[in-house]
Amino acid sequence: MLCCVWLAGCGQLVSNAKKDFAGDLAATIQRHDDPATIAQALPAYLVLTDSMVRGDDTNIDLLLSASKLYGAYASAFVEQAERKRKLAQRSLTYAHRALCLHVGNGNVSACNMKSVSYARFEQALQKFTRADVTVLFALGRAWAGWVQANSSDWNAVAELPKVKAVFQRVLELDAGIANGDAHVYLGVMQSLLPPAMGGKPELAKKHFDQAIRISKGTNLMAKLLYAEKYARLVFDRPLHDRLLRQVIEADISQSDKRLIDTIARQRAKVLLETADDYF
């Protein structure tokens, strides 16, 4: 009996060590200021994370870390369409598995997100509480990345209403989660189409403004996407240029998200340089 208890304790230590490693890795990547180095280094760590998940496939924190790493790498560094789809699928698979483990058998509709009707899915979302918001946000983030990677497939695009519903529920539970990023995702999704084609750019504007307010102006990706997705859509050149200049001029030396902030600044410079051609 004592041997079994000891072995169980060792297993928990190993599981915690894996979780800590994945968390430390994600934090180190976020604080790095050279995107090129991260782009070259990340594939090896993605495979390493896969191996850790394989040996501990019920560790929800590890699954969430793997989903985040794969999603971030696919969206930020991968241009080739087929690779992006594969990586985004893996991110979504990990997030989905984490969700199913988290809800257990009590929320079957949420666990079978792709197969249930929208009405049943929306009902299932109402069962989530604030204690579930981290896993729910991870699902929404991975799902949005998957839809983006498969944007040429109308069957994938048709899942956007469910993705929006996830983020709406996240905001109901914790409006300030991830420095306003839930608002950023909804802002992007609401600005995919111009008003004449059913888009809702003014609703997108509200979400971007909320993200900036929640982050006290520190969410540079919110400002970048505000300019790229909304200001360009409605041809608001003054807003476009003002937001991009704020991104470029921001001091990110003490930022905990230097990697994403550096990427935002690089993209902001390109958008500002090409503004005359666009407007």
Chunked mean pLDDT (size 10), the chain, 279 residues: 44 55 81 94 93 92 94 94 97 95 73 85 91 96 96 92 96 95 96 80 96 97 97 96 98 93 97 96
Q: Are the C-beta atoms of residues 53 and 59 closer than 8 Å to each other?
A: yes
pLDDT for res 259? 95
**114 and 64 share a domain?**
yes
**33 and 141 share a domain?**
yes
pTM above 0.85, yes or no: yes
* Cβ neighbours for 193, distance < 8 A, ≥ 6 positions apart: 199
**91 and 227 share a domain?**
no
pLDDT for res 9? 45
Task: Out of 102, 134, 149, pick the residue that ends a domain.
Answer: 149
pLDDT for res 112? 82
**184 and 261 share a domain?**
yes
Q: Distance between CA 40 and CA 49 in Å, rounded? A: 16
Q: Distance between CA 55 and CA 53 in Å, rounded? A: 5
CATH code at position 58: 1.25.40.920
Task: Please give the angle made by the CA atoms of 14, 18 and 22, to the nearest 5 degrees.
Answer: 170
